[in-house]
Structure 1
Amino acid sequence: MWERFSYYGMRAILLYYIYDTVANGGLALPKETALAIMSIYGSLVFMSSIVGGWISDRVLGARKTVFLGGVFIMVGHIVLATPFGISALFLSILLIVIGTGMLKPNVSGMVGHLYSKTDTRRDAGFSIFYMGINMGALLAPFIVGTLGQTYNYHVGFSVAAFGMFFGLVQYYLQGKKSLASIGLKPTNPIGIEERKKFIRSLLIVLIFVIALFGGAFILGHLTISFFINSVSWLGILLPVYYFIKMLTSKNVTDEEKPRVLGYIPLFLAGIVFWSLEEQGSSILALFANERTNDTLFGLSIAPSWFQSLNPIFVVFLTPIFVTLWTKLGRRQPSTVVKFSLGLVFAGLSFMLLMLPGLLYGTDVKVSPLWLFFSFFIMIVGEMCISPVGLSITTKLAPRAFESQTVAIWLLADAAGQAINAQIARFYTPQTEAAYFGIVGMVAVITGIILILSKNPIKKLMGAIH
């Protein structure tokens, strides 16, 4: 809960801090650069989760990895709370990306190890865990956002750091009592030969990165734009590498390869969906600050508060959809149809935001209800995709890649945000209506294409639906 509090609290005001004027305590970077940085930051968080999962499984164990990740996150927020400008921004992003990558994929794994697979309390345990996460995400924008935008951005970041510190203390003290031996040791310790192979691979990667950025520096191209473009390409090419590796691996059977091919359209649909959903903290946050009235029914609303809508709607809609799918039983839509519906809802949420610009122009502020209903429609779509995305990934992934299934699904979000870093530049007051309309229509059309292709996809998936 406290990690999500610190993360969502920081994210609620980070965009505004990056592009706000120096007089207001911001960094005064161009808005399009601020939007791209937010997307790249999110993409790196999901990519780093792959490394964090590996460190836990092979080297440190989940318990130490989670604690160390929390320390990195806390230090990252402390750095962001210092008045050292752009240098502090990028150092803090690096620290928080490393920390979140170590913490995020391993906490849920430890919750799973608290119960046996047949324990009837297992689902209830995950429900409590899920509620805790969303409570932290829900409260953070109100507290951190209010302090950051009312008093000083650095005060807000300091509160986020304190939240993570409190979480670390609680985790350390309560962990000894509640977790016993869970996560103390790596589940699949790396051997001597594997360690040598890993070190060689790591050196090759480091040499490549140093050569890439060193060459850019020598040629005078080492800019924020170069960094953004490099991470964007990485976010897009990494999934391509994973799928090529799976389809060409000798350890993947002839029966499993068609399933991988059947999974690819769903993965691409996931990229499109997360591309739209993750714009809630960038494009929609900008819309909240610059195009939305700060009062509703006589109550003042800070722009950062809109970031609480996502977890509020998730908490509200999750039990409704769980009940719906349970009641429908075998009559519930297939995974392909659910993904299609999710994309259509995501597209409609963006197309709704096209209307204020068309009806009133882009030089006036509009009712907060436009964003309220846009977020609501988006989360309805998320209910159709997010809960089943990891599930279908675990079902369709080859046995040889079972331990990497979480990483594969997270890469859809990473790729979606990598794309956002590139398309965010097209959002301006003059192009607002066209931007929301085109991006929304792309999602709707993708959903329609997916549902029209459901029969060949289901054929590739075999008995898994």
Structure 2
Amino acid sequence: MNTNQNLDTAFFGQPRGLSTLFFTEMWERFSYYGMRAILLFYMYYAVTKGGLGMSQGTAASVMSIYGSLVYLSSVLGGWLSDRVWGSRRTVFIGGVLIMFGHIVLSLPFGLSALYLSIALIVSGTGLLKPNVSDMVGSLYAPEDKRRDAGFSMFVFGINLGAAVAPWVAPWAANGFGMHTFGSETNFHAGFSLAAIGMFIGLVQYYYGGKKYLSKDSLYPNDPIDQEALKPVLIWTAIIVVILGIVIALMAAMQTLNINNIITLITVIAVALPIYYFVMMLNSRKVTREERSRVWAYIPLFIAAAIFWSIEESGSVVLALFAEQRTILRIGGFHIAAANFQTLNPLFIMILTPVFVWLWDHWKGQPSAPGKFAAGLVIAGLSYVWMALPGIIHGTTSGRVSPFWLIGSWFIVEIAEMLISPIGLSVTTRLAPKAFKSQMMSMWFLADAAGQAVNSQIVKYYSSATEVQYFLIIGLISIGFGILMSFLVKRIHHLMVGIN
């Protein structure tokens, strides 16, 4: 670490290296959310409209499992950084893979390009996303009081890129504003902008990293030796062989199709955290107090998975609602359905300082389990809210005000303020000493599991099932939140000394 970094105030009072990481993540999020804003429509629009002609249900399932795979891959990305490449090299490799993924998607090669793009972007995002955050922390000495402000600026960069992209990518896809989105859509132009955004991020990261990032980031924190590498390679080979056998059997039984592949990934995404919990609870390295804390984490993990299944539906179910059920012309102003994707990062930027102030000044605030319970109830209400247009109008065949979508996003982002930052904090505090890294992986796996389950249920969403869909899922979330509220004292007791 640069011993003079505390004197470096070149970037708004922060180390100059923060600007490099700020813009790297801003451009990566620009590329990712720009792609996601139009990908669902690309998959299910008819070929005559520039799409792939998938069924709506399959397209929605692919979107959900795509998000699940991104968070599953982040577990591997953290390991490769810590043990093999070091964070700076891992981030660069990830960015290159992401860029090539967007390039492939920008080419008119149909389904094969889509699946290759998903593989590249999933791998790249898994390498980049967890390690950029780690590098931000390495810019500061432990006693540097600028750390929290630095992370706040970094998170702002993430949301800035995510907020701008849903306007720019649809604009490119609709002929750079020459015609209405959906009439003569050229999705590949939008995907090209995502590739260009990632390229810009990579260029400034490469040159800025040489000048302003610590040389320590070039080396792994815990480099793996030959002895430790052998069992890793053996287990990797075993897993690959098992997956190969499963896929071969599916092919032999003529069941090898995209829906069954999604189901296979869903099983893996749900089974992996179960494996981690069983391993930690039975490990001799875990003390009695630590084991109690792991038990306390299980209901929080389930709550997080339920929450993420609702929150991450913004680019799937709510995107379909925006396209099919929302009035997109207000006076002379036309809104593309994809533009609504900007609401998620926009409300995060608005609400974050409000909740930071609240947690700093609220003396009798609830414990982490209490905040999770409230967050689940509020997240469920965001879906109940979406059922109201169909209930009020008695039909789901017409179009309704865009303020229904705006209201739903605002409600669910309040829930995110109660769950996402609190979850990150409580995960680090409840982690057994021997499983610190694995426990942080569990937080990503909660999102992966939630989206994997989503991939199985989003196929049942349509305008005809709209009211029932939103009500059932919303009430499940509210019900689990109420149940958690009764278990808050019990969970807090299991946390053993953790406030």
CA RMSD of aligned residues (A): 0.9
**1:379 corresponding residue in structure 2:** 413
Aligned positions of 1:55-66 closer than 5 A? 55-66=80-91
Instruction: Provide TM-score, normalisation by structure 2.
Output: 0.92
Deviation sequence 1:223-247 (CA, Å, 0-9, x none): 0111010011111111100000100
- Report how far residue 219 of structure 1 moved: 1.7
Do structure 1's residue 93 and structure 2's residue 118 form an aligned pair?
yes
- Report how far residue 180 of structure 1 moved: 3.0
1:426 and 1:136 map into 2 onto residues whose CA distance is 32
**1:170 corresponding residue in structure 2:** 204
Deviation sequence 1:76-101 (CA, Å, 0-9, x none): 00010111111110010000000000
**1:348 corresponding residue in structure 2:** 381
2:370 and 2:330 map into 1 onto residues whose CA distance is 37
**2:6 corresponding residue in structure 1:** none
Aligned positions of 1:97-116 closer than 5 A? 97-116=122-141
2:214 and 2:289 map into 1 onto residues whose CA distance is 41
**1:185 corresponding residue in structure 2:** 219
Q: Supply the AA of the counterpart residue of 2:440.
A: V
2:205 and 2:471 map into 1 onto residues whose CA distance is 45
**1:36 corresponding residue in structure 2:** 61
Aligned positions of 1:307-318 closer than 5 A? 307-318=341-352
State which of 276, 299, 308 in structure 2 corresponds to 1:242.
276
State which of 145, 170, 177 in structure 2 corresponds to 1:145.
170
**1:364 corresponding residue in structure 2:** 398
Q: Does the 8 A contact of 1:65 with 1:102 survive in 2? A: yes
2:289 and 2:359 map into 1 onto residues whose CA distance is 29
SS across alignment from 1:453: helix
Deviation sequence 1:27-62 (CA, Å, 0-9, x none): 010000000000000000000000000000000000
**2:303 corresponding residue in structure 1:** 269
Q: Supply the AA of the counterpart residue of 2:380.
A: G
1:200 and 1:379 map into 2 onto residues whose CA distance is 43
2:153 and 2:358 map into 1 onto residues whose CA distance is 20
Unaligned runs of 5+ in 1: none
**2:267 corresponding residue in structure 1:** 233
* Number of equivalenced pairs: 464
- Report how far residue 405 of structure 1 moved: 2.7
Q: Does the 8 A contact of 1:43 with 1:417 survive in 2? A: yes
User: Which contiguous aligned blocks of 4+ residues in structure 1 show a shift greater than 6 angstroms?
Assistant: none
Q: Supply the AA of the counterpart residue of 1:342.
A: G
1:296 and 1:327 map into 2 onto residues whose CA distance is 41
1:189 and 1:324 map into 2 onto residues whose CA distance is 42
- Report how far residue 178 of structure 1 moved: 1.2
**2:454 corresponding residue in structure 1:** 420
1:326 and 1:295 map into 2 onto residues whose CA distance is 42
**1:2 corresponding residue in structure 2:** 27
Q: Supply the AA of the counterpart residue of 1:292.
A: T
SS across alignment from 1:255: helix
Q: Does the 8 A contact of 1:110 with 1:182 survive in 2? A: no
Q: Supply the AA of the counterpart residue of 1:116.
A: A
Q: Does the 8 A contact of 1:114 with 1:182 survive in 2? A: no
2:216 and 2:344 map into 1 onto residues whose CA distance is 32
What is the percent sequence identity of the aligned residues?
Answer: 52
SS across alignment from 2:362: helix
Unaligned runs of 5+ in 2: 1-25, 175-180
1:73 and 1:446 map into 2 onto residues whose CA distance is 37
State which of 321, 341, 344 in structure 2 corresponds to 1:287.
321
- Report how far residue 146 of structure 1 moved: 1.9
Q: Supply the AA of the counterpart residue of 2:82.
A: D
Greater mean alpha carbon deviation, residues 148-157 or residues 229-238: 148-157
Deviation sequence 1:118-159 (CA, Å, 0-9, x none): 101111111111111110000000001222244410000000
- Report how far residue 3 of structure 1 moved: 0.3
1:219 and 1:98 map into 2 onto residues whose CA distance is 29
- Report how far residue 254 of structure 1 moved: 1.2
Instruction: Provide TM-score, normalisation by structure 1.
Output: 0.99
1:172 and 1:164 map into 2 onto residues whose CA distance is 12
Q: Supply the AA of the counterpart residue of 2:284.
A: K
**1:337 corresponding residue in structure 2:** 370
Do structure 1's residue 218 and structure 2's residue 218 form an aligned pair?
no
Do structure 1's residue 134 and structure 2's residue 159 form an aligned pair?
yes
Q: Does the 8 A contact of 2:69 with 2:448 survive in 1? A: yes
**1:123 corresponding residue in structure 2:** 148
Q: Supply the AA of the counterpart residue of 2:392.
A: L
2:339 and 2:464 map into 1 onto residues whose CA distance is 26
State which of 445, 449, 453 in structure 1 corresponds to 2:487.
453
